[in-house]
Structure 1
Amino acid sequence: MSGSRLPSHLGYIAVEGVIGAGKTTLARMLASQAEGRLVLEEFEDNPFLGQFYSDRARWALQTQLAFLASRFKQQKALATRDLFHPHVVADYTFDKDRIFAHVTLEGDERRLYDTLYDIMEPAAPVPDLVVYLRSSVDRLLHNVALRGRSYETNMDRAYLAELTDAYDRYFFHYTKSPLLIVDASRIDFVKEPETFTELVRQVSTVRGGTAYFNPPETMQLGF
């Protein structure tokens, strides 16, 4: 993707959203645009993930703790900036771990998780900008089906709806860094380059608080 690089003040951009929102695709495109370093969540290294989708109650704690450890390790590495890549773009934030945990865990398991999270969270770098891809459950299910991961074959619609509500609640109160909320229910950054170009322009102008990118109808696609 040609075009100007991102502003220097955006050293660390994190793309967030529910499963299937298009985080990794957009993170790749932004990293390419910025000629920056791309950091992707290592979800496939979680040995409990397949079992979690088969039996959430049984495997939630193991899955969540494995994610917490992996994400913390990556976040500590992010604290050391790469002199050859002034921009870093990640397809998740450390905060997402607690969002998921508060959906999947209850009682003593949640309290154990929160204790560990509270120890680790201060060491995680805060993004200079978070891009939150907000999408409909129908679009999330569509995207999950398209990518065809075996362990997501029977993705629970109610689970995605619950996660969407949890994300919305979290980002409604988010103040750690500038936030750009993108209506991603009916857009495709790959098929519609002009939409991505406009998003980059929006990203470049966010300096604080919460901003919104609602693509006009001419930029939106059906699915």
Structure 2
Amino acid sequence: MYIAIEGVIGVGKTTLARLLAERLAADCLLEVVEENPFLPLFYQDPPRYAFKAQVFFLLSRYKQLLPLAQPGLFSHGVVADYLFDKDAIFAAMNLSGEEWALYQELYRSLSPKLPVPDLTLYLKAPLPTLLARIRQRGRVFERRLEAAYLERLQTFYEQHFATYPHPLWVLETQELNFAEDKAAQDWIVEEVRRRLGCQRVGNG
């Protein structure tokens, strides 16, 4: 069992990944964000640092996900708070010219080596909700995030998942408090089990 959770910055991916991993008795795989030395610099000067930040993420996520290609290594299943495709979504938005061409070459050489999730959850929320959640978690380097950037990112996510060819659940999260509401948590867990066809997975 391999579940991936995706969505725009601040939509609640990590919170839901931890919940599902616990309830389904799976391993939780969290992306490396704050360890990227180029990310704070990118928010200060995007044109200068976009390529460096993106390649760091590309290699970091590839190294994290590559062990999933080895059968039996994660016997309890895995819930990840990101999809490898995420890297290409951000790169398409932030890179251009020769840097974009080089990135695409790197991505195309790495992507086929990784497994496809059995189920991907695409979380969505309105822009004001995303901004509020980002402010609430208080990452210093995210203070420079502007509404226009998030709105553009939403567009790229929508375009990507409009043609996503694998099992997908699009989940509106504005009125769904899975961080604290047990009924919401139970509903999501059971729906994931149903979509995976494994109602008896995990400890409930």
8 Å Cα contact 1:19/1:140 also seen in 2: yes
Q: 2:173 aligns with which of 165, 169, 184?
A: 184
For the pair 1:158 / 2:158, whether they are aligned, the reply is: no
Asked if the contact 2:8/2:154 (under 8 Å) is kept, the reply is yes
Q: How far is 1:84 from its partner?
A: 6.5
Which of 113, 122, 137 matches 1:132? 122
Q: Identity rate of aligned residues, in percent?
A: 44
- Residue 204 of structure 1 corresponds to which residue in structure 2? 193
Gaps of 5+ in 1: 1-10, 209-223
TM-score (norm 2): 0.92
Counterpart secondary structure, 2:34 = helix
Answer yes or no: is 1:112 the counterpart of 2:102.
Answer: yes
Q: Secondary structure at the match of 1:111?
A: helix
Q: TM-score if structure 1 supplies the norm length?
A: 0.85
Residue 146 (structure 1) aligned with residue 136 (structure 2): yes
CA contact (8 A) 2:118 2:196 kept: no
Deviations 1:35-64 (A, max 9, x none): 111100011121100001111111100000
Work out the CA distance in 2 between the residues paired with 1:181 and 1:162.
19
> Counterpart of 2:58 in 1: which secondary structure?
helix
Considering only aligned residues, what root-mean-square deviation do their CA atoms show, in Å? 1.4
Unaligned runs of 5+ in 2: 198-204
- In the alignment of these two chains, the number of paired residues is 197
Note the alpha carbon deviations across 1:88-129, whole angstroms, 9 max, x for none.
Answer: 100001110000000101111111100100000001111000
In the TM superposition, 1:8-157 aligns within 5 A as: 11-81=1-71, 85-157=75-147
**How much does 1:78 deviate?**
2.0
